[in-house]
A and B are shown apart, each in its own frame.
Chain A
């Protein structure tokens, strides 16, 4: 059974600081997704990583994928309050993007 683990589960960081969220998964896959979820809201797609070594950046967020280590990272640069949310990674092992196994989520709180 595929297991997807994120750490940390909760992250409180000051504005302007850098930090990394880690996503480990237990089965071979070369497709990994990052989502953001605000309280009471649905999931917003952030990044789609489709191959080993893939790196994508959008604003203050950068995601990477190492399929050999079964590890993805979401790096936050110079955090701002607007980034406060819960971040999920999700892994696809079935060959279709429509069945995803999600991680436990990392709740990020950015303080002034």
Chain B
């Protein structure tokens, strides 16, 4: 079992550009959540996808959008990048529509640097 995988590992972009990050959940998991972790801070919830729809959203602007595919994998898109978007982006997956309190697995993350 490969666990949660994310790509790419690292990414460098310039201000104003757009970026797409990808996540494949752990086998058997159907819910994907995305978090942003700025340097020296705790992760902050961006949004969650279940059944190909955004189910919950944190306090992030509309520049942050996502998608979930029928195979449960997910993408995070960020438009009009700002310097402040530089962070580690973590994907987490869970089973049963996210109702299993014991199981949430985090991926290795994508390190985004905006210059």
Contact = CB atoms under 8 A, between A and B. Distances in A.
Interface of A: 4, 31, 33, 35, 40-45, 48, 50, 88, 90, 92, 94-105
Contact of B99 (A35, A41, A97, A101): A97
27 contacts: A4-B42, A31-B101, A35-B106, A40-B111, A41-B108, A42-B108, A45-B106, A48-B101, A50-B102, A90-B42, A94-B56, A96-B31, A96-B48, A97-B99, A97-B101, A97-B104, A98-B31, A98-B33, A98-B94, A98-B98, A98-B104, A99-B56, A100-B45, A101-B45, A102-B42, A104-B42, A105-B41
Interface in B2-60: 31, 33, 40-45, 48, 56, 58
B41 A104 contact: yes
A36 to B, nearest CB: 11
B42 A98 contact: no
A41 B100 CA distance: 24
B106 A43 contact: yes
Nearest to A50: B101
Contacts of A97: 94, 98-104
Contacts of A44: 106
Contact of B107 (A35, A42, A45, A104): A42
Interface string B55-96: 010100000000000000000000000000000001010100
Nearest to A89: B42
B45 A99 contact: yes
Contacts of B58: 99
Contacts of B31: 96, 98
A100 B92 CA distance: 11
B102 A98 contact: no
